[in-house]
Amino acid sequence: MKINTNGISLEQAAAAYLSKASETKGGRQTADGRSFAEILNQKSEDLYGTVNVRFSKHAAERLYDRNIELSDDQLKRLTKGTEEAESKGIDSSLVMVDDLAFIVNTGSRTVVTAMDPANNDKNIFTNIDGAVIA
């Protein structure tokens, strides 16, 4: 087997691939280079002064893909529901806000995934310790 050493390095190829992959993922980078998750987390920080609930990359992508926009009131209720679940000793909670469902890791206060009724045909939630309707 002959290897062509005149090409680019593995690191250069990986960087080029990862850069291209991020560009083709539905334009999830804003003009200032921030991701959708970063914008959501900043919105939470702006409301509370500190970040009380964070959105994982997966959760932010679900919100983006499903065109779910959280109002300030919904974000506050999600945070309050997360705090209530944590106070009851729940590690992984389903937090319902209006017709939206969020799976939250209460220890890190991170929303792991988000669902709306239009995209959740089975309404089955697994690997949770409890649920809060906020």
* In the chain, where the domains are located: 50-134
Architecture of domain 50-134: 2-Layer Sandwich (3.30)
Confidence of residue 1 (pLDDT cuts 50, 70, 90): very low
Of 100, 92, 34, residue with least CA distance to 73: 100
Q: What is the pLDDT of residue 128?
A: 92
Q: Which residues pair with 115 in a beta bridge?
A: 101
Residues 85-132 have pLDDT tens digits of: 999 999 999 999 998 999 999 999 999 998 887 766 677 888 899 999
Rounded to whole angstroms, the Cα distance separating 112 from 130 reads: 15
Q: How far is CA 19 from CA 15, 39, 73, 116, in A?
A: 6, 20, 36, 31
pLDDT given at position 31? 62
- Contact, 119 vs 100, CB < 8 A? no
Judge residue 70's burial from the number of C-beta atoms within 10 Å of its C-beta, 0-12 exposed, 13-18 middle, 19 or more buried: buried
Structure tokens, 87 = 């106070």
Alpha helices for the chain (secondary structure H): 10-23, 36-48, 57-65, 72-87
